[in-house]
A and B are shown apart, each in its own frame.
Chain A
Amino acid sequence: NAGVTQTPKFRILKIGQSMTLQCTQDMNHNYMYWYRQDPGMGLKLIYYSVGAGITDKGEVPNGYNVSRSTTEDFPLRLELAAPSQTSVYFCASSYAVENRADGYTFGSGTRLTVV
């Protein structure tokens, strides 16, 4: 059982470039999330999705876009990368009950550097 798979694990972008962070889960979770973790900080929510075709903004959505065409996939798109987007990005998923006692399942993270 793979859980939540994120690719790539590392990436260096130049300012102004674009890229897509991939996230796939095989647990049939309805809810999926993208977080970013800046050095020495907690996680901040970028976007979330409650099911295929439904997405919404989190705390820090500027500079990002998402789509959810299937239950399994939740890619995060960075347009016009900026140094402020240098961070570690985590994708996570969970069951539909928001306060589900088993928490989130996280991917292993993508470390992105914008230079």
Chain B
Amino acid sequence: AQKITQTQPGMFVQEKEAVTLDCTYDTSDQSYGLFWYKQPSSGEMIFLIYQGSYDEQNATEGRYSLNFQKARKSANLVISASQLGDSAMYFCAMSYTGGFKTIFGAGTRLFVKA
């Protein structure tokens, strides 16, 4: 069965520092996609970054990068130079072949301190 695990319920980071949010996944599929979404306190879901299972390079989008370690089945999100506006809930998600579905982890709440 497919599974996404986020083991950090909450994280604190000082403004302007980098932070890593952990995500591990479990799947027997060879083709899958890994995503990170941000949910601010206003409640909307915002797509941040994507990594395909066959992509050899780690994905980057501005201050976001995805540290993809396929053998360890981990897909950690790295946010560089944290800003106060980064305070939010962050969800790791995986879509997988054979189903038109994306499963989500339980989320990590990030607090950025001034």
Contact = CB atoms under 8 A, between A and B. Distances in A.
Interface size classification for chain B: 20 to 34
Contact of B33 (A41, A42, A88, A99): A99
Interface stretch (A18-26, A43-51, A73-81): A43-51
Contacts of A40: 106-107
A87 B32 CA distance: 28
Contact of B106 (A33, A41, A45): A41
Contacts of B105: 42
Contact of B95 (A98, A105, A108): A98
A12 interface: no
A102 B47 contact: yes
Contacts of A100: 33
20 contacts: A40-B106, A42-B104, A43-B104, A44-B104, A45-B101, A45-B102, A48-B100, A90-B45, A98-B100, A99-B32, A99-B52, A99-B95, A99-B97, A100-B33, A101-B52, A102-B47, A104-B45, A104-B47, A104-B102, A108-B43
Kindly list the 5 A-B residue pairs having the minimum CB-CB distance in the complex, ordered from nearest.
A103-B47, A99-B33, A42-B104, A106-B45, A43-B104
Interface of A: 31, 33, 35, 40-45, 48, 50, 56, 58-59, 88, 90, 92, 98-106, 108-109, 111
